[in-house]
Amino acid sequence: MKYFMRLKLSILMLALLVPMAQAQCLPNPFGVGWLNAQELAGGHTIARHVGLADAQLVNRLNNSPNIQNASTYTDQQTAELAITTGLAGVRVAVNNWANNANHGERRVDNFVAAAIVGRVAYRPASLNNIVNSDRFRTVIEADGHGGCFLLTSFPTMPALGSTKLTANEVEMTAEATEKYAALAGYLAGQFADSDVAGAADDVAAKSALSHVTIDAHQLVLAQGTAFLADPKRDPKLIADWANRRFDTADGAERWLAYVLNELGAAVEKMAE
């Protein structure tokens, strides 16, 4: 009798403890086959960004006129090593984020690897316009319960080392540049692997972040405007993000509209 009472008590204590345990976003350490598991969870890194030939990158640019870049990791082993190494460095921050993130909310992180991880094609689309890169981005999606999965990851444009303005670029103030880069990164997360991801790459490619192309301006402007106009979007996402990024929870949508208005004015000025 005492044995059964102890057993029931043990089961009761276990039942009370289970709800207290939170799902884990990034494990420590990453297990074997972690990247494959992310694909099964809904990600598409391997499907879209691993082992592509140069010709395939050029074809993607030709078939997708709105994206600025197309990229691929050299192979799956390179991709998994780069991604897990990069994420290991921000594991605590990502897990803390996941514990407070809403379902479907996305986080974008950019990394520089210790070696070349892949290739990036840029416009105008040509086999001559493809470069090796040691830089890459990860986009993680939260499940709203402390867990997450890697939605996508891909190499990004390397730093070109030039801060000289070209004919179709405009210099921005430090404050405007910071807001632009943050906005581009945020929208790249919301529209992962879509048109705006290339615009964010255009910003990341400029080490000084002091100027961006008019095409990048127009892409972010269009995506940002569409985001504000989308009746299905969750207004809390932009409010939460703006609060964390710039401490502007109140009037976050007005702030976003203001930034988009600034970009629109810049585009008009550049087109004069």
CA of 212: how far to CAs of 67, 69, 134, 205, 262, in Å?
A: 15, 15, 21, 9, 14
Q: Among 116, 256, 120, 127, which Cα is nearest to 201's?
A: 120
If you average pLDDT over residues 198-215, what whole number do you get? Answer: 43
% of the chain at pLDDT higher than 70:
49
Query: What size, in residues, is the chain?
Result: 272
* 45 or 259, which is more confident: 45
Sign of the dihedral defined by the CA atoms of residues 45, 47, 51, 55, in that order:
negative
44-71 per-position pLDDT tens digit: 999 999 999 999 999 998 988 777 789 9
* 150 or 265, which is more confident: 150
Sign of the dihedral defined by the CA atoms of residues 267, 268, 271, 272, in that order:
negative
pTM exceeds 0.95: no
3-state SS assignment for residue 74: coil
Q: What average pLDDT does the structure give for the chain?
A: 71
If you search the block for the tokens 């094609």, which residue do you land on? 121
pLDDT tier, 118 (very low <50, low <70, confident <90, very high otherwise): very high
10-24 per-position pLDDT tens digit: 444 444 443 444 578
pLDDT tier, 236 (very low <50, low <70, confident <90, very high otherwise): low
Domain range list for the chain:
23-158, 162-272
The pLDDT assigned to 17 comes to: 42
% of the chain at pLDDT higher than 90:
28
Q: Among 167, 174, 246, which Cα is nearest to 208's?
A: 174
The pLDDT assigned to 231 comes to: 62
